[in-house]
Chains A and B, each alone.
Chain A
């Protein structure tokens, strides 16, 4: 009897299992990769969860953040593992040219032509950066850039408010702040500035200082004299003892209140916003003059990897997702500290209150620049190899730095990237 009972129960369980298979969620599944592995990734996941809730039964988005999605993507495309190629991803705008060249990305014109997305919702400047041969390969998600975080308590303490009045901090003003802190006998305990390093530090400074273009006709052209003279201005700050010691943790010092100017990316804002009692603002990176000010900007961009197995129906679901995310992206500014770009969001009053909102004007402000160069990651890698040595090492031959970077990029291209 008991055996019969067990049989019946098992049969029912099996039936129930089969029934549940029969009623399986038939929503369109979208594989979504991003580069957001930090606090900003959690904010993005929140948005994705909200979307999944709203579109339950219709569209389901699976979000996977990666430190380096590009290597995974390239490997999977190369191996033809179409199951592991995302339907859509958010990557760096600078990566797009090479990915287009390699045939990794598919154009997204279809999404605009079908009316699933509207070009008017995105700044033309950023759209233009992902347009190749008349085909659109990217849809802007946000602006990101190195910015200057300013400790407002220290500004008040040393009465330096006038430095910030015009919205720019110049190299001369950094020296002035240093003199003030030194005169108060606090230099050392209080550091004036920390550096972000690498290309983030020097690219825009070089163009501004020398009034030259770094990328000319699609080629990297560094004038070693200008690059060296520009570096000399940084070295001057260090020689005067204004910069933090090289190995110090700048973020910890800024949060701890012993660093006046902290250079870092917009992505760090998510962490700073959560620090109780930290009174700070975000500004453009230091400039040589407000008249020549230039800010290197990046953009996290939606892109669609080439995947022959993706259907048009899935493409349209992707468009729905991209548009919904854009329309709800204010949280990307208020919680992740980034700069959303979707038009209706940038018109919200909350957007104007964001510390980093000055970058949101990028569509109209000429001094913000997004670079477009096929070998951008090679160039940034070469800058990384030189690092901050020229700033911190007083014996460094400043005029060799530009030559070294240029040579490394040229040699990489010659080696057949």
Chain B
């Protein structure tokens, strides 16, 4: 019986998806006898980001997926929870969205009609009447029906207990899930969607298929093709140059401060301090340090390099990034080193192991996980580099140090070409994921070999 109810609920849920596709709002506005009207389907509202209620639609879609998955995993009570929230959100959406008498997206569509007629209407004079079409009511009815189909039976203690066990964990994780969905999942989905559109961040995006990807990946004559190649290659170069130092320097300091008995805490604080500073503060301070005329590098240390011209720009950025990023990684290493049992070192000493032997066969194997973790996070962090080249070198020397995020930021927010920028972001994301994946696989193998060797 339960299986049948679940199946029925799933069917109703899928019917909801179909009905949702046809649901929408009829919008009408009248100005001095001229009528402008349009139909705004929900999917248009969803991707137009036209107002706050459109976010509710995104949440409803997310909940729909969760509800369906819960049903397939034999958890109707959890699915019921998601569907109940969906029902409430959908009704709230219909009420709030239809109350928007000057919805920006709808205003743009209707205003076009007035302008085509040669009539200029100020937005303040718009009073749009929005009425849900009958599909909306069917959609609401279907989701309500689906919810009621799997309404839990609260009468028996066993059901109440099961309900408590199944639902309670979700209530505990709900705040985090909500924040994750609103601030991470929805933007990621919109970002992916934007990559397939032509969008100026203001007007409604227009679906463009794979055009943006064709442009940035295959159209060798196009500016954005060049920017992606140059930006991505500079980003990878930066990561390759900087990462070894961002691992080796804090590791060395952690090892050194471990053996210092007096003042180690002070030293730790001193090394950690730079990581508390903001990007701008760090970059401006170092910019003056390396200044070719007034800088300490020239006047105190007698440097003759032009630190702001390649290839020295890379050296400068390695120094700054290693100095700036040492603190956080160092703390991880210090705590990991502190957890290495002293008796292992004592036993090794009895066996005649020297300092290198202890390091090679005791310290390193014990540090394999922190090292792996910091390697992955450092690589990801360095591939997301933006502040250093942006504030130190900009696009100088034919963009010799211009990284991909600089181009992405410029394209999205200076030029308002969000489609191309999102496509570039997706390429960067794919590269980061691929590198991290390979890295984790390689290091996992390494750490297992190291463990076997230490046995």
Is B399 touching A308 in the complex (CB atoms < 8 A)?
no
Of B51, B52, B126, B415, which is within 8 A of A308 by CB? B126
Check A246 for interface membership: any CB of B closer than 8 A. Answer: yes
Check A417 for interface membership: any CB of B closer than 8 A. Answer: yes
Check B437 for interface membership: any CB of A closer than 8 A. Answer: no
Is B397 touching A381 in the complex (CB atoms < 8 A)?
no
A385–B410 Cα distance when bound, in Å, is: 10
Report chain B residues within 8 Å CB of A389: 396-398
Check B292 for interface membership: any CB of A closer than 8 A. Answer: yes
Is A103 touching B108 in the complex (CB atoms < 8 A)?
yes
Is B126 touching A416 in the complex (CB atoms < 8 A)?
no
Looking at B15-23, B99-107, B246-254, B446-454, the stretch in contact with chain A turns out to be B99-107
Report chain A residues within 8 Å CB of B50: 78, 80
A310–B208 Cα distance when bound, in Å, is: 37
Chain A nearest CB, measured from B46 CB (Å): 15
Given contacts A80-B52, A308-B123, A416-B417, contact A387 B396 (CB under 8 A): yes
Residue from B51, B103, B397, B415 whose CB has the most chain A CB atoms within 10 Å: B415
Report chain B residues within 8 Å CB of A412: 223, 415, 417
Check B56 for interface membership: any CB of A closer than 8 A. Answer: no
Chain A nearest CB, measured from B48 CB (Å): 9
Check A247 for interface membership: any CB of B closer than 8 A. Answer: yes
Given contacts A78-B202, A102-B203, A103-B111, contact A381 B51 (CB under 8 A): no
Of A104, A248, A381, which is within 8 A of B410 by CB? A381
Beta-carbon nearest neighbor of B102 in chain A: A308
Of A246, A384, A416, which is within 8 A of B419 by CB? A416
Report chain A residues within 8 Å CB of B133: none
Enumerate A351-383 residues with CB–CB distance to B below 8 Å.
377-378, 381
Is A74 touching B104 in the complex (CB atoms < 8 A)?
no
Check A252 for interface membership: any CB of B closer than 8 A. Answer: yes
Chain B positions 111 through 123: 1 when the CB is less than 8 Å from some CB of chain A, otherwise 0: 1000000001011
Beta-carbon nearest neighbor of B198 in chain A: A416
Chain A nearest CB, measured from B43 CB (Å): 18
Is A415 touching B420 in the complex (CB atoms < 8 A)?
yes
Check A173 for interface membership: any CB of B closer than 8 A. Answer: no
Report chain A residues within 8 Å CB of B215: 415
Chain B nearest CB, measured from A101 CB (Å): 10
A135–B291 Cα distance when bound, in Å, is: 50
Report chain A residues within 8 Å CB of B413: 68, 71
A135–B416 Cα distance when bound, in Å, is: 25
A396–B215 Cα distance when bound, in Å, is: 27
Residue from B203, B292, B417 whose CB has the most chain A CB atoms within 10 Å: B417
A415–B410 Cα distance when bound, in Å, is: 14
Can you list 21 contacts pairing A with B, beta carbon distance less than 8 Å?
A: A68-B413, A74-B201, A78-B202, A80-B102, A102-B202, A103-B107, A103-B108, A103-B111, A106-B124, A249-B291, A378-B414, A381-B414, A385-B395, A385-B399, A387-B395, A412-B415, A415-B198, A415-B420, A416-B200, A416-B417, A416-B419
